[in-house]
Amino acid sequence: MQEPLLGAEGPDYDTFPEKPPPLPGDRARVGTLQNKRVFLATFAAVLGNFSFGYALVYTSPVIPALERSLDPDLHLTKSQASWFGSVFTLGAAAGGLSAMILNDLLGRKLSIMFSAVPSAAGYALMAGAHGLWMLLLGRTLTGFAGGLTAACIPVYVSEIAPPGVRGALGATPQLMAVFGSLSLYALGLLLPWRWLAVAGEAPVLVMILLLSFMPNSPRFLLSRGRDEEALRALAWLRGTDADVHWEFEQIQDNVRRQSSRVSWAEARAPHMCRPIAVALLMRLLQQLTGITPILVYLQSIFDSTAVLLPPKDDAAIVGAVRLLSVLIAALTMDLAGRKMLLFVSGYAMGWGPITWLLMSEVLPLRARGVASGLCVLASWLTAFVLTKSFLPVVSTFGLQVPFFFFAAICLVSLVFTGCCVPETKGRSLEQIESFFRTGRRSFLR
């Protein structure tokens, strides 16, 4: 009797009849070295996450600078600073809502490319700001772009990556977002706040250039009846020496069985609502750990403490530690497994990169575009509430109150991980979806 997905660790797990697994020599031909085109396509896409991470923490060095500004049109009060920090999350929520439509209308790749428009416009507004409204509008637009890419990039990466490297590649969106944040902290030591916005335009332009040469997701192309284009895209991604017909037939069979849109009645079926519920709760718990307000106000938080180093240096150190942690997660995710890292690691090694990957892995294909947008929408609305209320709560009760709350949420997250999160290491997206459909030993028990 085969082990269910939750407890499976061996390579022989299967949820539906299929051809025998490829021989070791065949695996070598489609191994890591032959996946260099997948790596290139992933890098092109996750540049959007670099911009997202950069824009998210833009306020960390800028708010203290504007609070000291002598220009009355740009001088920020505490209330205005809280809006400047939090309005990004409202834009991100709108971006997640738009992704519910654009992900399936334009496709994953074109949706990511579309995000460059509000991102570039937002940076331009903040670079040339002459009043608070320009700062807020620019921040909202970059937030919209961030929410859109947050919903689209993990789905795109998971759909183009083979199972053997999907964990490592699935961590790259978070890795690039952290690298973007670190770049902002580092540049904040050297550049004035306007030039920080100008520098944010560079990764957006590079992303557009590279993505224009990358293929769309084969699964999305098949869902639109563009079979020949999907086969060419898969062959390009896997390399000239790879035999893609077996993988293509698997994907094609799964897409054909799910060619129609999900009705509300179907959405209530266990094989649909359970993975969506898991993904949604992961996104909510991730935000409730307090990561967004901490990053947005990181330098201001250090300003209010008795640390010895200058707050700018402290923020840069935090960014460097986060980058190292996510890099370790990317290298170990396909070895240790997603669930193990959620248990034993901190945010940057666990709940940061893994929840984005698991979201894209567990969501069913027919609902993936809409459901990922819904998850991002709920996530960023939660982030807005936390970010907008953080400074007033700290001003009234001190730092200890929000941090005790965040610690309690971390304990809840551990219980949720043990009871509800499946292990998806080494499984194809079709196998993961088939597991939820069979109902074997439901993970909600």
Q: What is the CATH number of the domain that holds 390?
A: 1.20.1250.20
Residue 242 belongs to a domain: no
Q: CA-CA distance, 77 to 59, in Å (whole number)? A: 14
Residue 118 belongs to a domain: yes
Residue 444 belongs to a domain: no
Residue 201 belongs to a domain: yes
> What's the predicted TM-score (pTM) here?
0.74
DSSP tally for the chain: helices H, then strands E: 24, 0
Q: CA-CA distance, 312 to 65, in Å (whole number)? A: 11
Q: Which residues contact 142 (CB under 8 A, 6 or more apart)?
A: 51, 55, 58, 88, 91, 118, 119, 122, 123, 126, 200
Residue 394 belongs to a domain: yes
**Residue with the two structure tokens 């979201």:** 359
pLDDT for position 348: 64
pLDDT for position 310: 79
Query: Which of 403, 109, 154, 106 minimizes the C-alpha distance to 282?
Result: 154
Residue 240 belongs to a domain: no
Q: Which domain holds residue 432?
A: 34-219+263-438
Q: CA-CA distance, 241 to 28, in Å (whole number)? A: 10
**Residue with the two structure tokens 């551990």:** 414
Per-residue pLDDT reduced to its tens digit, 50-75 = 999 999 889 888 888 898 888 888 88
Residue 52 belongs to a domain: yes
pLDDT for position 111: 92
Domain count, the chain: 1
Q: How many CB atoms lie within 10 A of CB 311?
A: 19
Which residues of the chain, if any, have pLDDT below 50?
A: 1-33, 441-445
pLDDT for position 210: 94
Q: CA-CA distance, 209 to 203, in Å (whole number)? A: 10
Cα dist from 215 to 15, 43, 348, whole Å: 29, 13, 30
Residue 340 belongs to a domain: yes
Per-residue pLDDT reduced to its tens digit, 276-296 = 888 888 888 888 988 888 888
